[in-house]
Amino acid sequence: MSPDPLPVVVLISGRGSNLQAIIDGAADDLPVQVRSVVSNRPGVAGLERARLAGITAQVVDHTLYSDRGTFENELIGVIDAHEPGLVVLAGFMRVLTAEFVAHYRGRLINIHPSLLPAFPGLDTHARALEAGVAEHGATVHFVTEEVDGGPPIIQARVPVLATDTPDTLAARVLEQEHRIFPQAIRWFAEGRLSLSDGAVFRDGAPASAINR
């Protein structure tokens, strides 16, 4: 691991399985230090994953704030106290304002359970089955003001089987999420990945999403 691992803050809303993939990677050779895990919901399993790994676990409960701006101002304060080089949305189920996105522009990434631009938003697995697509998957992307519309960094594809249900399809996609999310974080931590003028640059050159 690099002697100066990249400081990272991870935002979650639930069980934190992608968080666990990041924690496991950091315990191996992923060159990051997860300084805090922040949830907008108290009592979720991801907070316990953080505590078990010795990581600061914090809650900024959005239901306690009168409006989105007040909530995000508090969230920014909690995040920035850890001086992160990268903020990772790992199942963070809140739509973020343009002001929040601008504050972290170029160092805010998300993972979404579809092959964006297909199926932005919620219920992606059921929608993929309803649409009858042959392939489904996951996308890691930089976050921009458009929900699930930021430029993709890396995607993973899985075949859609005739026997699939939303749950079986979700499980296969999740396995791929755990693989590609740490990869994108590694590229960023190694200084190989950046966002410039709305485009992804990898190793200093404009790059389309890698499919793995």
* Of the candidates 23, 76, 77, the residue with the CA atom closest to the CA atom of residue 47: 23
* Of the candidates 179, 187, 176, 174, the residue with the CA atom closest to the CA atom of residue 142: 187
pLDDT at 208: 84
* pLDDT values of the chain reduced to their tens digit, one per residue, 212 residues: 445 899 999 999 999 999 999 999 999 999 999 999 999 999 999 999 999 999 999 999 999 999 999 999 999 999 999 999 999 999 999 999 999 999 999 999 999 999 999 999 999 999 999 999 999 999 999 999 999 999 999 999 999 999 999 999 999 999 999 999 999 999 999 999 999 999 999 999 998 878 87
The vertex-113 CA angle with 31 and 90, nearest 5°, equals 40
Q: Which of 62, 103, 112, 125 is catalytic?
A: 112
- Give phi and psi for 196, each to the nearest 5: -145, 125
Q: Among positive and negative, which fits the CA dihedral 102, 119, 179, 169?
A: positive
The yes-or-no answer on residue 82 being catalytic is no
Contact (CB, 8 A) for 151 and 197: no
Both tokens of residue 76? 């920014």
56 DSSP β-pair partners: 36
Domains and CATH numbers, the chain: 1-104 (3.40.50.170), 111-212 (3.40.50.170)
Both tokens of residue 84? 């992160």
